[in-house]
Amino acid sequence: MDTITVSKKEYQNLVERALRYDYLARIIQKKGSIFSSPPTSDVKEVVESFRATKLYNTPFLRSLEKGLNRSSYFKTEQK
């Protein structure tokens, strides 16, 4: 049997990466895909949903709206 020696820090890093991979693999198995389209293509509806939570400040909401308006998904879906 071959023996490989790694530092404690490297071992912890490898264990952490393995746990993240397992977590992501379980999510994908349950949902089928983690990369799905948003349930709506209405920019105003999305921004209002964020605003309703009262967790986000006005500059963030403006930035979100600007980004969504520039998104190819929202542009192609609105036509």
pLDDT at 56 over 80: yes
pLDDT at 60 over 90: yes
Instruction: Give the model confidence (pLDDT) of 4-45 as tens digits.
Output: 999 999 999 999 999 999 998 888 888 777 777 778 888 999
| pLDDT of 78 above 60 | no
Q: How far is CA 46 from the centre of its chain?
A: 16
Quote the pLDDT of residue 67: 93
Distance between CA 35 and CA 28 in Å, rounded?
9
Q: What digits encode the pLDDT tens for the residues 23-32?
A: 988 888 887 7
- Kindly list the domain boundaries of the chain, sorted by start residue: 1-36, 43-78
Q: Which of 45, 48, 72 is nearest to 61 (CA)?
A: 48
